[in-house]
Amino acid sequence: MLTTGKAILDVANEHNFAVPAFNISDWAMFKGIVEISEETNAPLIVAIHPDEVAHIGREMVAGIIERAHRSSVPIAIHWDHGATYQQALQAIQYGFTSVMIDASMKPFDENLAITRKVTESAHILGVSVEGELGTIGGNDTYAEGGSDTIIYTDPDDAVTYVEQTGVDSLAIAIGTFHGMYPANMKPELKLDLLKEIKGRVGIPLVLHGGSGNPDDEIREAARTGINKINISTDIKVAYHNKMREVLGNDPKTREPNAIQPACIAAMNEVAAQKIELFGAAGKASLY
């Protein structure tokens, strides 16, 4: 059931829940995430950052698409944090059904112009587009990483941006952080800002980051306007911490079938909790 980001998020928008967009960076992670989504009967967005695409290769993207066609739940393949128009075209050529153009660090007019250009081209080919307005903090190498600064999304700008770009979904900054939340900062979502933006633009809204934010705030956000939540750090930490444990227990362990099952199980425990928290469990039946 390979489909587009718009097809998945429009239903989530109508029924007030959020779809997890899990970032994967190897085949075992991807296989595990699809299996837990099928087990919980939840729609899935497979997010792959350009750095991750470079790591896994175009050939694996083809395999991901093939597996998505055979899935019992709807799946979109999403190019996460594309930085240029050329990257968006590359994603479309690879077979992605959803692309993000992140020009949030550029001046507003430049962000608007490049997003509109991507949207015009992608929509001709039936590919969904996510834009971003405002910036979240980050201490990893993705997106606007390297800064503790959060520039909250302005509702007036959001209205103009959506109207003039035609994006299908919009990532907003309301108090989240790429990577682990800094110890010296208190995580807090501006839920009133979320509700104001949602009331004015209407389209599916996206939350990037979220590691360290309280579950009750994430749960409320997923029921009051956020329809897609990106999850990368939390599942990767669970996956690789378990891998370190397995390898440390026996230095002679080398076969993937002896290493990865426990790692996938640890990752999926976290993924299942996110699926439930976002209100996505069982929602594949709506499609």
| Closest by Cα among 198, 226, 196, 200 to 213 | 226
| Structure letter (DSSP) for residue 147 | B
**Catalytic annotation on 156?**
no
d(CA 234, CA 22): 10
Check: CB of residue 75 under 8 Å from CB of residue 46. Answer: yes
According to the annotation, is 178 in a ligand binding site?
yes
209 annotated among ligand-binding-site residues: yes
DSSP secondary-structure letter at 213?
S
208 is in an annotated binding site: yes
102 is in an annotated binding site: yes
Backbone phi, psi, residue 245, to 5°: -65, -45
- To the question of whether residue 115 is assigned a binding role by annotation, the answer is no
Contact 122, 92 (CB under 8 A): yes
Q: Does 232 appear as a known binding residue?
A: yes
Is 211 within any annotated ligand binding site? yes
At position 3, the amino acid (one-letter code) is: T
179 labelled ligand-binding: yes
Q: Is 230 annotated as a binding residue?
A: yes
Task: Quickly tell me which residue has 């976002």 as its tokens.
Answer: 278
Give yes or no for a contact between 12 and 198, defined as CB atoms under 8 angstroms apart. Answer: no
- CA distance linking residue 16 with residue 196, whole number of Å: 16
- Using DSSP bridges, classify how beta strands 177-178 and 19-23 pair: parallel, antiparallel or unpaired: unpaired
Q: Is 175 annotated as a binding residue?
A: no
The half-sphere exposure of 68 on its side-chain side, counting CA atoms within 13 A, is: 23
Cα four-point dihedral sign 91, 93, 96, 98: positive
5 marked ligand binding residue: no
Asked whether residue 147 is marked as a ligand-binding residue, the answer is no
Of the candidates 10, 51, 80, 234, the residue annotated as catalytic is 80
* 207 contacts 166 by C-beta, under 8 angstroms: no
Q: Read off φ and ψ for residue 50, nearest 5 degrees.
A: -50, -35
Annotated binding site for dihydroxyacetone phosphate: 179, 209-211, 230-233
Annotated binding site: 81, 102, 132, 178-179, 208-211, 230-233
Active site residues: 80
Annotated binding site for Zn(2+): 81, 102, 132, 178, 208
